[in-house]
Amino acid sequence: MIDRDRIVRTFLDLIAIDSPSGDEDAIAADLEARLRALGLEAWQDAAGNVLARRPGQGDPLLLSAHMDTVEPGRGITPVWDGPDIIRSDGTTILGADNKAGCAVILEVIQSATEDNATTRPIEVAISRGEEVGLVGARDMDYSQLSAKVAIVIDSGGPPSSIQGQAPYHYTYTVEVHGKSAHAGLEPEKGVPAIHIAAETVLGMPQGRIDAETTGNVGTISGGLVRNAVPDHARIEGEMRSMEFEKVEGLVAHAKDHLAEVQGRYPNARIESDFALEYPGYRLEPGDPAAGLVFGVLRDLGFTPDPQPVGGGTDGNIFRGKGIAAIVIGRGGYNQHTRDEYLVIPEMLQCAQVVEAAVRKVEPS
Ligand SMILES: [Zn+2]
């Protein structure tokens, strides 16, 4: 049975170990040891993600969370706000994003073991570097996992709060190489990289393109001194859309524009790099992860509440790897701020939902 005191203790133990992105060695070792102590085969893959497996019956189910936090995330001091809410002391984040997710996974496994419950085979993947671009999930060794369905425990709010769709996300970098010259004495010998970069910027998608599509030029840099024609400029931007065709269309349009600017400035060299950071998805009826979790939520008396989100999670990466992933809430609020807090009854509900999912063993 899910044990409130135990999961709260686990959560407090985990937030006592500082783990801002890039500094995860201590928490990874702790999580690996905890999973071993629960009888699982546990290890770290080459990227330092903590993976584990526990035998069971039927098709395996992947439970996932991330171990890193954002800053300020060192020396976290939890403060009780009534019997059901834990906050930070206001100088740091709390780290419920995503130590609450880690605590849920550990509690569900411990509960299954002590109840001697029949479960599906459970695979665990606790990623590093989620907050700095889904780094761990991107580099995860998927050959060490076999599950085709995943529950990612990393959304805000109660477990019924589900990420129903997430956008396709492209990033790009444009480098303009020009030629420097004295700006006052012989500007005609120069090729003004900043000026040319400005013309590239004006043709890139900016702002809200339509209800489900956005673009942004986020940074521009270049030049060294006021009185020299700049020989280098760089811009960084991104585009997102719920529809793959739309974001692909924006990319094609941007590339055409860059080629057109290049044509007008043959003495400059414009280099660009476009990358699909992660694929988007929309939970469709019939999706195995949605079917499992929506069913369990309804069995427990909750109403699934899928909502679109503007950003990516490890769930996007899993989907891109052919694992049907669903991202559910684990009771956290005001994530990535010093006002972050955890509603314990909602973390418990999350554990109950995940527990019901792992115990839903289809007769074979
Ligand atoms: Zn998170």
The b/e string for 288-327 (b: 16+ C-beta within 10 A; e otherwise) is ebbebbbebbeeeebebebeebeebbbbbbbbbbebbbbb
**Catalytic annotation on 115?**
no
For position 285, what pLDDT does the model report? 82
Distance separating alpha carbons of residues 342 and 340, to the nearest angstrom: 7
Q: Where are the domains of the chain?
A: 4-165+281-359, 168-278
Span 152-198, pLDDT tens digits: 999 999 999 999 998 999 999 999 999 999 999 999 999 999 999 99
CATH number of 168-278: 3.30.70.360
Distance separating alpha carbons of residues 21 and 230, to the nearest angstrom: 36
Say which CATH topology domain 4-165+281-359 has.
Aminopeptidase (3.40.630)
Taking residue 65's Cβ as centre, other Cβ atoms within 10 Å add up to 27
**Catalytic annotation on 89?**
no
CA of 105 to the centre of ligand 1 (A): 14
Type of residue found at 280: G
CA of 279 to the centre of ligand 1 (A): 18
Is 168-278 in the same CATH topology as 4-165+281-359? no
pTM: 0.86
Span 327-343, pLDDT tens digits: 999 999 999 999 999 99
Distance separating alpha carbons of residues 189 and 183, to the nearest angstrom: 9
Which of the residues in the chain have pLDDT under 70?
Answer: 363-364
Write down the catalytic residue from 68, 107, 212, 340: 68
